Amino acid sequence: MFDTALTVNDLIFLAKGAGMTIMVTAISVFFGTILGIVFGVVRHQVGPWWAAPLTFVLDVFRSIPLLIQLVLANAFVTTVLGFRVAGLTVACGVLSLYTAAYCAEIVRGGIEAVPLTLRRASRSLGMTWRQDMTNVVMPLATRVALPSWIGLALGVMKDSALVFIVQVVELLKSTQILITRLQEPLFLLTICGLFYFLISFPVARFGGYLEKRWSND
Amino acid sequence: MNYSFRWNQALNSLPQMLDGALVTMQIAVLSMVIGIAVAILLTVFRLSGSRVLRGVAATWVEIARNTPALFQIYMAHFGLGGLGIHLSPYMSLLLGIVFNNAGYLAENFRGALKAIPDTQTRAARSLGLSSGQAFGYVVVPQMLRISFLPMTNQMVWAVLMTSLGVVVAMNTDLYGVTSELNARTFRTFELFAIAAVIFYVITKVITLSARLLAARLFRY
């Protein structure tokens, strides 16, 4: 039961897949967060009526399976528009927007958690909107939003397993390829699951710690 | 842009896709019902004095929350297959989603439990209820009420998760039907756009009906 046909080369292959998972996650979380902050601030700033189109679009990203978003985006870019684009680009683009949709919600929640009186006070002291945003709202909103943002980043890492559908070979896909060859599903899947777990678990714990530490009660 | 859309061709297969949507709904509802039951069981495990049971519950929750749902479904099909337990795609998809749901819901329930004062259990016990009765009649209903919103979210997640059945060759749910039609007609964009609309409608119906239900259930 314990002898395996797994070679060093296969392990390197798996490590490459893991690297791809981390890369896709890092790119998507980076761009997704920037977009999410912009969307969140805009949504808060222009009021519910003017933000309705944006709210709708972001809601669509949260109500359709990521798998279908990926297939649709891939079909749209490659066959409808006729561009030759790598699957990786499509994957990062879709995942960034997906991240942004959730991040906007977190950012909005963070901004709304800052008491309005505090912001009025800062404006009364002569701060500009920009100063108010960067010096008052941002530090306070970050406290509220950071634990959920960590959760979101981990969620994106787990969801990045779905990019196999646009021919990106990440960790789970490379495991699948090895399973097809070595026929040792349980062993290989355990390695794969362990990898996800080892990244996700400590960070999730850290998020939980921050949440407890920073909560006001 | 010289792509000609053929919406008619895709729309002709709408009945098949709606049948698939029914299967998707069925899996989501089943996985939620079983998931809630298992999550309550895990909560009981967590509260129990036995270290083994607490360990089981903690391990379950951490694995469910820290690995991709796709991995869990994959494990249910190929991992168990490696152990000699061969499940049909439907069963392994259901099992994977139940595993995931139960983990997330157990965590929600734990949060909800913190909001229920200990005095309630003590009051119930001093009124003569057994510990099981106190838990079942006093704690669980309040727990379910507090975690109603997270449960709605989990239900939406369950619907979205059914699309992952593609890795275990599931071909009767909405995603499976769509990709099979796609393999025959190659109208990828049109077919998946229709599937996306169906998914959107399903999730909206769930969130709206949950809101109506909450207004009706929690009037007091």
| DSSP codes of every residue in A90-124 | HHHHHHHHHHHHHHHHHHHHHHHHS-HHHHHHHHH
Question: In chain B, which residues have their Cβ closer than 8 Å to the Cβ of A189?
Answer: 71, 74-75, 78-79, 82
Whether B158 is covered by a domain: the verdict is yes
Identify the domain containing residue B90 by its residue range.
Answer: 7-217
Structure-token pair, residue B162:
């059914």
Query: Which pLDDT tens digits describe chain B residue by residue (220 residues)?
Result: 667 777 887 788 889 999 999 999 999 999 999 999 999 999 999 988 889 999 999 999 999 999 999 999 999 998 888 888 888 999 999 999 999 999 999 999 998 998 899 899 999 999 999 988 999 999 999 998 889 989 999 999 999 999 998 888 888 899 999 999 988 888 888 899 999 999 999 999 999 999 999 888 877 6
C-alpha A65: how far from its chain's center? 14
Residue A3 has pLDDT above 70, yes or no: no
Q: Computed over its alpha carbons, how large is the radius of gyration of chain B?
A: 21
Distance CA A23, CA A45 (A): 33
| DSSP per-residue codes, chain A | -------HHHHHHHHHHHHHHHHHHHHHHHHHHHHHHHHHHHHHHHHHHHTHHHHHHHHHHHHS-HHHHHHHHHHIIIIIS-----HHHHHHHHHHHHHHHHHHHHHHHHHHHS-HHHHHHHHHTT--HHHIIIIIIHHHHHHHHHHHHHHHHHHHHHHGGGGGGGT---HHHHHHHHHHHH--HHHHHHHHHHHHHHHHHHHHHHHHHHHHHH---
Structure-token pair, residue A123:
């404006």
Distance CA B62, CA A154 (A): 13
Of the candidates A18, A180, A163, the residue with the CA atom closest to the CA atom of residue A89: A163
Whether B2 is covered by a domain: the verdict is no
Distance CA B133, CA B139 (A): 9
Total structural domains within chain B: 1
Q: Which of B3, B65, B203 sits opposite A63 (nearest CB)?
A: B203
B175–A68 CB contact, under 8 Å? yes
Distance CA B90, CA B74 (A): 12
Distance CA A47, CA A52 (A): 9
Q: A57 to chain B: nearest residue by CA?
A: B200
Distance CA B8, CA B187 (A): 11
**Structural domains in chain A, sorted by start:** 8-113+145-214 (1.10.3720.10)
Least Cα separation, residue A133 to chain B (angstroms):
31
pLDDT of residue B18: 92
Whether B75 is covered by a domain: the verdict is yes
Structure-token pair, residue B175:
């995603």
Distance CA A209, CA B9 (A): 54
B67–A176 CB contact, under 8 Å? no
Q: Does A63 touch chain B (CB under 8 A)?
A: yes
Q: Which of A71, A176, A184 sits opposite B188 (nearest CB)?
A: A71
Distance CA A65, CA B159 (A): 8
Structure-token pair, residue B178:
């769509």
Average pLDDT taken over every residue of chain A: 90
Least Cα separation, residue B5 to chain A (angstroms):
9
Handedness of CA B57, B44, B158, B78 (dihedral sign): positive
Least Cα separation, residue B70 to chain A (angstroms):
7
pLDDT of residue B92: 93
Question: In chain A, which residues have their Cβ closer than 8 Å to the Cβ of B65?
Answer: 200, 204
Query: What residue type is A70 in one-letter code?
Result: L
**How many interface pairs between A and B have CB atoms less than 8 angstroms apart?**
109
| DSSP per-residue codes, B197-219 | HHHHHHHHHHHHHHHHHHHHHT-
Whether B201 is covered by a domain: the verdict is yes
Distance CA A63, CA A69 (A): 10
Whether B45 is covered by a domain: the verdict is yes
Question: In chain A, which residues have their Cβ closer than 8 Å to the Cβ of B79?
Answer: 185-186, 189-190
Query: Distance from first CA to last CA of chain A, Å, rounded?
Result: 52
Query: What residue type is A116 in one-letter code?
Result: L
Of the candidates B196, B194, B171, the residue with the CA atom closest to the CA atom of residue B183: B171
Whether B32 is covered by a domain: the verdict is yes
Q: Which of A64, A176, A200 sits opposite B200 (nearest CB)?
A: A64
Domain of residue B141, CATH code? 1.10.3720.10
Question: In chain A, which residues have their Cβ closer than 8 Å to the Cβ of B63?
Answer: 193, 197
Task: Write the CB contacts of A17 (distance below 8 Å, at least 6 apart in sequence).
Answer: A169, A170, A171, A172, A173, A174, A175
B160–A82 CB contact, under 8 Å? no
Of the candidates A154, A157, A169, the residue with the CA atom closest to the CA atom of residue A14: A169
Q: A176 to chain B: nearest residue by CA?
A: B74
Whether B1 is covered by a domain: the verdict is no
Query: What residue type is B37 in one-letter code?
Result: A
Which residue did the predictor score with more confidence, B160 or A6?
B160
- Banded pLDDT at A100 (limits 50, 70, 90): very high
Tens of pLDDT, residues A33-62: 999 999 999 998 898 899 999 999 999 999
- Banded pLDDT at A211 (limits 50, 70, 90): confident
A185–B78 CB contact, under 8 Å? yes
φ, ψ at A128 (rounded to 5°): -80, 170
Query: What residue type is A73 in one-letter code?
Result: A
Distance CA A169, CA A138 (A): 38
Residue A217 has pLDDT above 70, yes or no: no
Distance CA B87, CA B173 (A): 16
B160–A64 CB contact, under 8 Å? yes
